[in-house]
Amino acid sequence: MSSKSKPGSSRISREDVGCAVDALLGFLRLRGKQQKAQLFQHDDFLYLNISVRRFRSTSRLKPYLIRLPHTLHPLDPSRTSLCLIADDSLADAALSTAANENLPFDSIIPLSQLRTDYVPFEARRRLCDSYDIFFAERRIVPPLSRLIGNYFFKKNKLPLPINISRRGWPEAVREACRSTLLHLRSGTCSGLKVGRVSMDQEQIVDNLMAAINAAVGHIPKKWANIRCMHIMSVQSVALPIYQAIPQIGMRIDLPPRETEAEENKKKHELSKKRKIRIHDVDFTCTDLHDRSEEADGDCEQVQTNDELGLKKKMKRKMEMVYFTNS
């Protein structure tokens, strides 16, 4: 992969990336001078953080390998430490092959030793922090996640699968050392290593441009899904190198917000209505009982009045019959 990106392949210019790298390196060097001299000087990594608009619905455990122009893990035992986890029957053969190919494998751990010596969490944590890159035989990768624990997931140091039974597996190890790993999990942010503090500014810019172009190709919807990009180290703030224009969706006109006086007035009127509704009934249960008795009395009085009117009518008819007969 060429160090310079093709025209139109990236929305980020090389000049903007160079300015961000210069500012970041200047900040780290100034901070290093202000701090006290330490016994061991650590060569910190530089990271590219990519934030997307929509996250993935499913996680991808296997990372993408992105080839960098300038390697972050030189095949030098003094600068890079590798670890290989293999089956007991292939551990000795893999150790001799790695020695013949000058691969910086500090140790090759058999699967039986991993099951017995690295059961406590503290032992697994020390194992994870002792090596830069882990490799594992392809056949033992499925049960390996249960044996190494969650600390390897948090540190993004899951063993990379290789086929030891093939002759070309040392070349696969070299290709992994020349590349950086892009982990796309079910989240909106992903990070990958793009350089070291000890590298030159041009080398870091070359790695950044190569990592940006390759990483965007693995993200769904490419640049349309990219929200922003930052470059940072473990001991620094994140410097932006790309910011997408916010998407403007459907506009919703909200009603004007009422003032505090109007809100208090409405609350007072509402509480007043509630008080009126509670106290508008001016009788109790005893009153209700008395009224029911009065209603019964009225009904009886109506009934007696009807009877008297009927008697009067009957009396008049009898008188009329008497007079007519006489």
The CATH number for 226's domain is 3.30.190.20
Residue 23 lies in a domain: yes
Q: Are 229 and 212 in contact (CB under 8 A)?
A: yes
Same domain, 51 and 184: yes
pLDDT, one tens digit per residue, over 285-296 is: 444 455 555 555
- 281 domain residue, yes or no: no
Residues 92 and 172 in one domain: yes
- For every residue of 3-46, DSSP letters joined together read SSPPTTS-SS-HHHHHHHHHHHHHHHHHHHHHSPPPSS----EE
- 235 & 206 share domain: yes
Q: What is the CATH number of the domain that holds 168?
A: 3.40.50.790
pLDDT at residue 158 greater than cutoff 50? yes
- More confident call, 2 vs 238: 238
Q: Do residue 209 and residue 124 come from a single domain?
A: no
In a domain, 155, yes or no: yes
The pLDDT assigned to 278 comes to 45
Residue at 215 is within a domain: yes
Q: Per the domain annotation, does 240 fall within a domain?
A: yes
Per-residue pLDDT band for 29 (boundaries 50, 70, 90) equals confident
User: How far apart, in whole angstroms, are the C-alpha atoms of residue 146 and residue 58?
Assistant: 20
At residue 68, the pLDDT reads 93
Q: Are 238 and 231 in contact (CB under 8 A)?
A: yes
Residue range(s) defining the domain that contains residue 124? 74-177
Q: Are residues 84 and 144 in the same domain?
A: yes
Pick from 198, 222, 246: which residue ends a domain?
Answer: 246
**In a shared domain, residues 8 and 51:** yes
The stretch 134-157 carries a mean pLDDT of 85
- Where is average pLDDT lowest: 7-16, 232-241, 273-282? 273-282
Q: Is residue 123, in this structure, part of any structural domain at all?
A: yes
Provide, rounded to the nearest whole percent, the portion of the chain with pLDDT above 70. Answer: 72
Highest mean pLDDT among 49-58, 216-225, 309-318: 216-225
Q: Which of 203, 229, 246 is the last residue of a domain?
A: 246
pLDDT confidence bin for 1, thresholds 50/70/90 = very low
Q: What was the pLDDT predicted at 35?
A: 67
Exposed, middle or buried by CB within 10 Å (0-12, 13-18, 19+), for 266?
exposed
The HSE-up count of residue 272 (CA atoms within 13 Å, CB side) is 6
Same domain membership, residue 144 and residue 195? no
Q: Are residues 57 and 103 in the same domain?
A: no
Q: pTM value? A: 0.65
Among 177, 204, 233, identify where a domain stops: 177
CA distance 299 to 294: 9
Looking at residue 283, what is its pLDDT?
A: 44
* Residue 303 placed within a domain: no
> What radius of gyration do the chain's Cα atoms show?
43
Q: What is the mean pLDDT of the chain?
A: 77
Confidence category of residue 103, pLDDT binned at 50, 70, 90: confident
Indicate whether 83 and 171 sit together in one domain: yes
Render pLDDT for 200-252 as a digit per residue (tens, 0 to 9): 889 999 999 999 999 998 888 888 888 889 998 887 888 889 888 776 655 65
Residue 274: inside a domain, yes or no?
Answer: no
Integer Cα distance of 269 and 192 in angstroms: 61
- Does one domain contain both 78 and 58? no
- Residue 145 shares a structural domain with residue 207: no
Amino acid 208: pLDDT: 93
Tokens of 113: 């030793």
Are residues 59 and 200 part of one domain? yes
C-alpha closest to that of 67 among 182, 166, 164: 182
Can you tell me the distance from the alpha carbon of 231 to that of 272, in angstroms, rounded to the nearest whole number? 61
pLDDT band of 69, cuts 50, 70, 90 = very high
- Whether 168 shows a pLDDT value over 70: the answer reads yes
Task: Grade residue 194 by pLDDT with cuts at 50, 70 and 90.
Answer: very high
Q: How far apart are the C-alpha atoms of 18 and 49, rounded to whole Å?
A: 16
How many independent structural domains does the chain possess?
2
